[in-house]
Every structure is written in C-alpha cells, then in structure tokens.
Structure 1
Amino acid sequence: MSDVHELVERYLAAWNETDPAARRAAVEAVFADGAVYVDPLAVAEGRDALDATIGAVQGQFPGFVFRLVGAVDAHHDIARFTWELGPADGPAPIEGFDVAEIADGRFVRVNGFLNRVPG
C-alpha cells in the first residue's frame, strides 16, 4: 500500500471516528497544522475547525460511513480520490471526490466536490 493510499484511508477513518478524543487524534495525525478543507457546503481552517466540521457531518448523517471508491490517483504532492457516504450496510446516497495537497505526510489542503447528493 502506498503512503498516499494509506493517508487517504486514515483521512476517511478520521471522518468515520465518532469518539471525540480518538477523532481529534486522527485529525492531528492526518492534517497539518493550519490545514484547510473546502467543499460546496463548508470551509474549515485549522484542526479545531476540521474536527468540528467532521463532528457536524456525523451529526447530520448519523450511522453513515465514508468509504473509498476506486483507486487513489496521486502525483507529486497531490492526490485525488472518490468516496461515498452512506449506511454501513447499504447503498450510499452521497458520492464525491477530493483533491488534496500533501506536505510532510499530512494533508495541508483538501478541496471536496459532490458528485451525487439526495434530492
């Protein structure tokens, strides 16, 4: 498993972590200090905001989990990957992809896009 693929897996695990202390530890391990996350619905700057954003998404979609869809595509210090969000044991109604910048083994910026959302 490549380092970038492993980082993406840990990133998605952070989005799935519901224990606040474990989630915070995952956020600190995956995101650089001062990291930024941007998608059509949210902007989070810094680890505190990232942690709060993940918690808010979990509150909006209780019981849903993020799953990697397909392969991680990466070159230089940039990765892109598709994910889905849905019940652990059923089809996912939400799908998107992220483009992430990496420095020193952590994400410094993640730009998220939504491909499929419920109507």
Structure 2
Amino acid sequence: MDTATSRTDAVVDAYLSTWNCSDPAARSELLDRFWTEDASYVDPMAEGNGRDALAAIMSAVGRQFPGFTFSLIGTPDAHHQHIRFQWGLGAEGDEPVVIGFDVLSTDTDGRIGRVIGFLDKVPS
C-alpha cells in the first residue's frame, strides 16, 4: 500500500469513526482532531458549518437510526486533496438501509474541511 492510499484510508476511517461515535465528548475529540474548525457538510437532507453543527447533525442521524453504523462500501478514490467513496448505514452484518456517496476535501494536513454527500438509497 502506498503512502497516498494509506493517507486516504486514514481520512475515510476518521470520517466514519466520527459518524459512528455515539459519545458526545469522544465525538468532539474526533472532530477536533480530524476536522477543520470551519468544516462544512451538506447532503440532500442536512447542512451545517462548524464542528458544533456537524456534531448536531451526527447526533440527529444516530437518534434516527439507533444501533446502526456507517461502513465503507468499495474502495475510496482520491486525487489532490479530494476523496470520494460510497458508504452504507445499517445494522452490522445486514444489508444497509441507507447508501450514500460522499466527497471529502481536506486541508494540507489531511483534516476534513468540506463534505458533499449524495444519497443513493434511502428508506421509504
């Protein structure tokens, strides 16, 4: 595995770990460590700017889908400071009930600064 691939994998892992964290204090630590202070997030159902807004969005999703986790589907693709990948949300070991596709932009230190999300499959 080359350095760029391992860096990409580390960013995606940090991203998914932040979404999967249910403890507010631990999530705040992840946001502080892996996300820029002015990070932004937008998808068809939510939009937020700054770590507090992101934490609120993540908490709301956790309340809407208790016990579900985000997992990587396939292999991330990256160039320059941008990463795209598909993810699934569901109970561990089950078919995801939500599938999405995100594009992350990072700063020069590899911290997540901008996320643009698309939803490919949502429950009716």
Please indicate the TM-score interval, normalised by the length of the shorter structure.
over 0.9
- The one of 20, 42, 45 equivalent to 1:16 is 20
Distance apart, 1:89 and its partner CA: 3.0
- The aligned counterpart of 1:105 is 110
Residue 2 (structure 1) aligned with residue 6 (structure 2): yes
Query: RMSD between aligned alpha carbons?
Result: 0.9
Deviation for aligned residue 1:67:
0.1
- Percent of residue pairs identical: 47
Match of 2:80 in 1: 76
Is 1:39 matched up with 2:43? yes
Unpaired segments of 5 or more residues in structure 1?
A: none
> What is the number of equivalent residue pairs in this alignment?
119
- TM-score (normalizing by structure 1): 0.96
Q: Between 1-10 and 42-51, report the one with greater CA deviation.
A: 1-10
Q: Distance in 1 between matches of 2:81 and 2:110?
A: 9
Query: For structure 2, which runs of at least 5 residues remain unmatched after alignment?
Result: none
Instruction: Confirm whether residue 62 of structure 1 aligns to residue 76 of structure 2.
Output: no
Q: How far is 1:31 from its partner?
A: 1.1
Which consecutive aligned stretches of 4+ in structure 1 deviate over 4 angstroms post-superposition?
none
> 1:35 and 1:93 mapped to 2: Cα distance?
27
Deviations 1:15-73 (A, max 9, x none): 00011111111111221010100000001100000111101100010001000001010
TM-score, normalisation: structure 2: 0.92
